[in-house]
Amino acid sequence: MTNSVFRVSSMYFVVVLSVSCSASVYGILRFASYYGDHMVLQKSPERAVLWGYGPEDAHVFLLLIGPTNQKASPVNVTKGIWRVTIDPVEAGGPYTVIVATENSTATLTDVLFGDVWLCGGQSNMYFNMSQIFNASEELAIAAKFPHVRTFMAGLIESKTELTDLTKVELPWAVPTEGLSGQESVAPFSAVCWLFGRYMYKYLNYPIGLVESCWGGTPVEVWSSSRALKHCGLEEPEDGPKGNSMLWNAMIHPLLNMTIKGAIWYQGEANTYYHTDEYNCSFPAMIDDWRMAFHQGSGGQTAPDFPFGFVQLSTDRKGSADDGFPDIRWHQTADIGYVPNGRMKRTFMAVALDLPDETSPYSTIHPRDKQDVAYRLTLGARAVAYYEKHVPFLGPFPQQILSAATYVNITYDQNVSVTPSKVIFEICCSGTQDPCGPTSKWVQAPIVQWGPTTVQLSAQLCPVTDVVAALRYAWRDWPCDFKACPIYSASGILPAPPFLINHYPGEDNIWIN
């Protein structure tokens, strides 16, 4: 048994370190893979969790040294792993974190406390800062945000749930002046970085960004077997498209981490794979992540942590039905907007009005990630941070009135309208059956509009038919860049797509 003395400013901590006689003296004391110098830990009121590896049965002591100091109660190493949940720490820093046993110490320096956001999905989340519009200018100002810190998990897969990441692509880093400082940001997710930078300007305290994504992957690979079973999706596949392969390797290892929330950009791969099931698989994945992170962090991550996502942008101009409209709809659990009763504490950035016809990375990868990230921040401010009166939802129908020759839409807010002949469509039905896959859809041009209303012509329906359904922006590429016909009154937030059925024989007022 030995004594170790740590000096903290004018304070001293005297820590008695001991190790069981049966403990291995060859074990190495260290932090888990995703802890490191310059990292951000979750601030109060939540409690951050730190864990790692050490000699079996050794006592591990943890010291937090900085603006406020903590000495955590000693914990034992069990099955080679130690874990400490520290008391809540207010935003700020820098801190030094020291863990020690009788024979060794491990240290983290320049640690900040703030909000930690997990960024997941496929290639549009993986799309990095060097590829976006105005990349040089964006990278040049990155050093002005040294309290926005980044970490990127490596691309790894596993058939079983892993305890820790087996590969780190980019360790925790601080953006600094010069090329070397930009190198930590240039290969990082653009949506994730810009979201963090915008949120820092709003919150004015540290933001930690954890990127874990893989291009070309469907939602099934990011979902646990529990979530897939809930939706009847249990067929195994090999490779990074195999069920749960990336949940096992790139999400499950992070569960001990206390996080504020998550943002997500994915769905393109599901436009041709299990498309019809996405209205179950995506909400189920969110529910399961929330449960797992809450349990994994010992209750520190909220059981309903805020989850933001990007509704799909565009791919092929002129394509009407290639899965993109369906996935956009399914991303909202077929409600049309979030948050809703099925997807509580979620927020969405509509991106169908941000196509990029000349993108050198293919049209499925638009370079304007600034607008995407900004729209996400509006949702985060409202849903995650409870800011009142922040506009974050585009216009959505509140009431629809159909007649023989027209359809009137009343929106839930004031709208900015540009006339269009093609973006609204109505389903014409001459039977008592609702519209189906073989039903006839015709264009319904905008003919009049007011502060909250839009009137559509229904004259393209045969005179013997009735309007049985109405849809908006129901195509892969519904409009040119920021040129959709319906926006919020400010012109900032586009109306999301919708599909609303009206069953024959019902009242002419469809929804309230």
Look at residues 117, 264, 263, 127 and name the one whose alpha carbon lies nearest to residue 189: 127
The answer to whether 272 touches 315, Cβ cutoff 8 Å, is: no
What whole-number percentage of the chain has pLDDT above 90?
Answer: 82
Look at residues 283, 91, 300, 308 and name the one whose alpha carbon lies nearest to residue 194: 308
* The CATH classification of domain 115-126+182-199+212-383, taken from the options 3.40.50.1110, 3.30.43.10, 3.40.30.10, 3.10.20.310: 3.40.50.1110
Q: Is 349 helix (H, G, I), strand (E, B) or coil?
A: strand
Instruction: pLDDT band for 10, please (50, 70, 90 cuts).
Output: very low
Whether the pLDDT of residue 244 is over 70: the answer is yes
pLDDT of residue 435: 79
Strand partners, 40: 112
Pairing of strands 105-121, 207-213: parallel
* Full DSSP string of 101-115: -SS-EEEEEEEEEEE
- Provide mean pLDDT across the span 27-43: 96
pLDDT of residue 237: 63
pLDDT of residue 508: 73
CA-CA distance, 60 to 3, in Å (whole number)?
Answer: 13
| CB burial of residue 390 (10 Å; 0-12, 13-18, 19+) | middle
Entry pTM: 0.93
DSSP 29: P
Strand residues in 260-329 grouped as ranges (E): 261-265, 307-310
Look at residues 199, 194, 206 and name the one whose alpha carbon lies nearest to residue 94: 206
Residues 6+ apart with CB under 8 A from 239: 157, 245
* Full DSSP string of 42-55: E-TTS--EEEEE-S
- Provide mean pLDDT across the span 229-242: 76
pLDDT of residue 52: 98
pLDDT of residue 322: 85
| Across 136-140, 262-266, 344-348, 403-407, least confident range | 403-407
pLDDT of residue 327: 98
- Provide mean pLDDT across the span 235-257: 86
- Domain boundaries of the chain, sorted by first residue: 115-126+182-199+212-383, 397-501
Whether the pLDDT of residue 180 is over 90: the answer is no
- Provide mean pLDDT across the span 380-398: 97
The amino acid present at 253, given as its one-letter code, is: P
What whole-number percentage of the chain has pLDDT above 70?
Answer: 90
